[in-house]
Chains A and B, each alone.
Chain A
């Protein structure tokens, strides 16, 4: 029976032009709402698959503001059985702080009798893109770590993980306990059903507060890239534009006679 802790982060659901808060410290999400990254959606799906096979429980965790409960409930609506919210101002938390906060929960729960032999995270957060929380967490817990993983399966006390590498699909076999960062693409995340949402509303959610001073993220400020002015040259419309396209291809030298 392997329990899985899967970590998600409440992030602005940015689709187009990004709106920044006035102090430049965060993204203003009022028009777009919040979500979790596709990597984390896949991690949640993998967590529920692994635990339904192992008979363990999938606990979802988030370090973030109180409103992160929305994302935690969504994860519980698609199969996680309980949630931990580490309530913190994530603007003040750097990747090392996030890792420390997660590690604290793993240790505290282990001491209370619930061990998470597998911790899943997204490969990188959709907002800060730090690419390091899983690794820092693994060192804090003294566990092996993989990143960029698409699928995870348990084989006894080992875990078999697969991910894309430069030469093809790389296959890893690790002993548990382990930390794995998931990249989207291996599984399709699901949407909640109505009964799932009902269940999630009543599922247990424990809120804890970290008891350490954060190191911080080093963020000075956010800026929006300057929008480009369109300089597009329309070569034509419909199939009649084909000769002009080929002229261009020859001019660019990407094809030659």
Chain B
């Protein structure tokens, strides 16, 4: 039995959670185990329907949904209690989550309380018997093969380590609601309140189909007009390199990279970003990369699929004008 902690958004399971489900199904396929999901937190419609559709699509037979008002506000310890209840009730041999802040945090609690090891940011299974995983370390610059042969294998799957493929046969996902054994102690470290970020939705960057990137080449806080216009024309999100946030040109929430968001858009357009490894760690899962840079030999250019060489402040306005002309906007 493999249990997957599924995180949800307004549409259902998040992309990275679906990736984790695919990953779990592949692992289960080699051992013949079943995959169950556990989904925690409020599930208003249409999220609940979307979730069930996603799970069915991923071939999940059963989803465990704890029923407890105290789970309305996030508390990692309480979530982990709810997960442990499922692990115990199903005698699961593996617990998987996506490598998100919450995924990793809940798994850390679970692993500690079960007194087993935990592996973060796994990209593939190295060996099944005994179980060993390959995971990203050193900010994605190296891979580690790690033994994970305790009673319960607890690990998170690195964002975009695999594609969320539908199962060969869709399942009819059964819902099992249960009462978790949450204690008051689990609720000490609980979100007291949430302040919406004024600028825009943080999820926009990680879920955007198109991300326009900006690096040192942008040249200053007051020089983002063209880039923002391109972002808008493409209906995408703006992502920036660490230097841009360090220099105070843009907020940290827009940072892409090892210490920022990891993105997997259909198209990433890094402009004036040389491509340090820390940044690459966050954007390497983009399906297509179109780099705009003055230096044809910059790592970001040589790693890109397509590139335009030159000053972004000349090229981006030209693209904007061309887009407006061709699309009639």
Contact = CB atoms under 8 A, between A and B. Distances in A.
Asked if the two chains touch in their complex, CB atoms less than 8 Å apart, one says yes
A124 interface: yes
Contacts of B301: 232
Interface string A204-246: 0000000000000111111111001011111111111111111
B259 A39 contact: yes
Interface stretch (A46-54, A55-63, A128-136, A191-199): A128-136
A189 B148 CA distance: 36
Interface in B132-191: 132, 135-148, 156, 188-191
Main secondary structure of the interface of A (DSSP, over half): mixed
Interface stretch (B30-38, B46-54, B81-89, B116-124): B116-124
B142 A223 contact: yes
A184 B74 CA distance: 21
Interface string B189-233: 111111111000011000001100000000000000000000001
A230 B234 contact: no
B68 interface: no
B76, B138, B307: most-surrounded residue (chain A CB, <10 A): B138
B318 A242 contact: yes
A106 interface: no
B322 A237 contact: no
Contact of B195 (A18, A171, A223): A171
B142, B253, B288, B317: most-surrounded residue (chain A CB, <10 A): B142
Interface stretch (A66-74, A75-83, A108-116, A141-149): A141-149
B277 interface: yes
B112 A168 contact: no
Contact of A248 (B7, B191, B290, B314): B290
B234 A131 contact: no
Interface in A147-174: 147-148, 150, 164-174
Given A231-B305, A232-B301, A234-B308, A223 B9 contact: no
A209 to B, nearest CB: 24
Contacts of A228: 303
Nearest to B9: A166
B117, B196, B301: most-surrounded residue (chain A CB, <10 A): B117
B138 A131 contact: no
A12 interface: yes
A238 B317 CA distance: 11
B245 A185 contact: yes
B111 A139 contact: no
Given A147-B101, A172-B191, A234-B309, A139 B113 contact: yes
B72 interface: no
A168 B132 contact: no
Nearest to B322: A242
Main secondary structure of the interface of B (DSSP, over half): mixed
B302 interface: yes
A28 to B, nearest CB: 11
Contacts of B276: 15-16
Interface string A245-257: 1101110111101
A88 interface: no
B146 A136 contact: no
Given A14-B138, A124-B120, A171-B194, A232 B306 contact: yes
Contacts of A65: none
A33 interface: no
B315 interface: yes
A218 B119 CA distance: 9
A170 B120 CA distance: 23
B109 interface: yes
Nearest to B145: A220
Contacts of A20: 142
B314 A239 contact: yes
Given A164-B202, A168-B196, A234-B307, A245 B112 contact: no
B112 A136 contact: yes
Contacts of A185: 245, 252, 255, 259
A66 to B, nearest CB: 22
Contacts of A119: none
B138 A126 contact: yes
A246 B310 contact: no
A21 to B, nearest CB: 11
B296 interface: yes
A242 B143 contact: no
Contacts of A124: 104, 120
14 contacts: A16-B299, A96-B112, A132-B118, A165-B191, A166-B7, A166-B203, A171-B195, A178-B189, A232-B301, A237-B308, A242-B322, A244-B308, A255-B235, A257-B328
Given A178-B189, A218-B117, A239-B314, 12 more contacts: A124-B104, A145-B189, A147-B105, A147-B108, A171-B192, A185-B259, A220-B146, A222-B145, A238-B311, A242-B321, A245-B322, A257-B326
